[in-house]
Amino acid sequence: MKIGFITPFFSPVAGGSATAPYILAKCLVKKGHEVFIFTSNFGRNLAKFPDEKDLAIIESKIELKMFNLFYTSSLRSELESSNKLDILHLHNFRTYQNYVAYSYAKRTNTPYILQARGSIPRIGKKELKWLYDVLFGYRLLRDASKVIALTQVETDQYRRMGIPGEKIAIIPNGIDLSEYAELPPKGSFKEKFNIPEDRKIILYMGRIHKIKGVDFLVRAYAYLKNEMKYKDAVLVIVGSDDGFLGEVKSLVQSLGISRSVIFTGPLYGKIKLGAYVDSDIVVLPSRYETFPNVVLEAYACSKPVVASNVEAIPDIVLHGKTGLLFQAGDVKGLTNAIAYMLTHSEEAVRMGRNARRLVEERFSIYRVVIQLEALYEKVLKDERGNA
């Protein structure tokens, strides 16, 4: 099968929205499909995925960036000059790339599937997102052969946009567990960043954006250290700046915890895995989330997760089994959850084992791709039947 992935970005710099398509594409290729990834050059000069050699990646230069829309005029000709594709898989929702892919799909009678990846709600820039939907977004959703929801919560979001239930398929994110078969030795991350061996690590992994709630975590850590007098843990913040790093650093400074907070910037490969291995807990304090890959990555390393109970997170982080949940924005609740994990190490280890078991049973990329292949085949069969 010849599959065209349409995504505005394809670099680990972009976080889970780029990592998830990469993992899918890699697995589809291993199963004998041809995958062509049409994307922009966003972040490609900073970081690429570790094993891209089997993927056909067609980059288009960004000529204009307006808000979160990347204008890439060459995408149209790249699609036109490609060999006939069997199906298009559009990742994300409100993008210029989807506009071009939609035009191509209609002109060539190529069916397409849309996977919004949590981008349906009009959070931030609401008026502009509403305008996109009126001019194009509703049409893009309406004409899709199928749409993919990561969770039941996202299914409800599609329904509110007028998509009937029979058009929605629920397929979660997956993770390639083979990449976690040989983890770095314990202590390698601490040694690299001069963290004493007896210190515990509270780890944040992800983009540093306001929506991710890193400020809640910083305040909770300050309360843990200054008010609860817990001195044995450091806070490690891993990720690229997405417009919020300056504010987070100012907050760390004002709270007097600079000596105990480490900003590493984005990490990849073995160093990133080392951060998980040496961490005691992974914290996801987001204001909004759909299906963050960081949870699966932590689980693959047998680490429990403390997360805000927003959207579909309670379906992924099982309270008391694979981690702990707290009310989003409740700094004291977050502090108490972290303190419990740090002072009940046997419980944290038990939850980490449960987490690894859960990711093996439900979120292996090979299980996920079987569902995706079945969806592709159904769309193509229906298309042939309607021809």
Question: What pLDDT score does 125 carry?
Answer: 86
Residues 17 and 89 grouped into a single domain: yes
CB–CB of 300/359 below 8 Å?
yes
In a domain, 387, yes or no: no
In a domain, 132, yes or no: yes
CB–CB of 221/257 below 8 Å?
yes
314-341 average pLDDT score: 97
Residues 28 and 41 grouped into a single domain: yes
Q: Give pLDDT tens digits for 192-238.
A: 999 999 999 999 999 999 999 999 999 999 999 999 999 999 999 99
Q: Give pLDDT tens digits for 15-36.
A: 888 999 999 999 999 999 999 9
Question: Which residue in this structure is represented by tokens 């759909």?
Answer: 290
Residues 8 and 151 grouped into a single domain: yes
Question: Which residue in this structure is represented by tokens 């994110």?
Answer: 173
* Cβ atoms < 10 Å from Cβ of 181: 8
Which of the four pLDDT bands, split at 50, 70 and 90, describes residue 51?
confident
In a domain, 253, yes or no: yes
Residues 223 and 350 grouped into a single domain: yes
Distance CA 343, CA 322 (A): 16
Output the CA–CA distances (angstroms, integers) from residue 303 to 3, 185, 348, in the order listed: 35, 15, 8
In a domain, 14, yes or no: yes
Structural domain tally of the chain?
Answer: 2
286-309 average pLDDT score: 95
In a domain, 374, yes or no: yes
36-47 average pLDDT score: 94
| CATH number, residue 317 | 3.40.50.2000
CB–CB of 312/150 below 8 Å?
yes
Residues 86 and 164 grouped into a single domain: yes
Residues 143 and 222 grouped into a single domain: no
Mean pLDDT of the chain: 95
Judge whether residue 312 has pLDDT over 90. no
Judge whether residue 270 has pLDDT over 90. yes
Long-range residue pairs from 35-38, CB within 8 A, at least 24 positions apart, any chain: 35/3, 35/4, 35/5, 36/2, 36/3, 36/4, 36/5, 36/82, 36/85, 37/5, 37/7, 37/10, 38/4, 38/5, 38/6, 38/7, 38/75, 38/78, 38/79, 38/97, 38/101
In a domain, 338, yes or no: yes
Question: What pLDDT score does 290 carry?
Answer: 85
Residues 162 and 262 grouped into a single domain: no
Question: What pLDDT score does 67 carry?
Answer: 75
- Among candidate residues 378, 358, 375, 30, the one with its CA nearest the CA of residue 174: 358
In a domain, 348, yes or no: yes
Residues 189 and 314 grouped into a single domain: yes
Q: pLDDT > 90: what percent of the chain?
A: 90
Question: What pLDDT score does 387 carry?
Answer: 60
pTM for the predicted model, two decimal places: 0.91
Residues 142 and 225 grouped into a single domain: no
CB–CB of 234/258 below 8 Å?
no
Distance CA 383, CA 387 (A): 6
Residues 299 and 201 grouped into a single domain: yes
324-349 average pLDDT score: 97
- Helical axes 245-254 vs 214-226, angle rounded to 10°: 10
Question: What pLDDT score does 63 carry?
Answer: 95
Residues 105 and 238 grouped into a single domain: no
Residues 326 and 370 grouped into a single domain: no
In a domain, 299, yes or no: yes
Domain interval for residue 342: 178-362
* Neighbouring-strand partners of residue 147: 114, 168
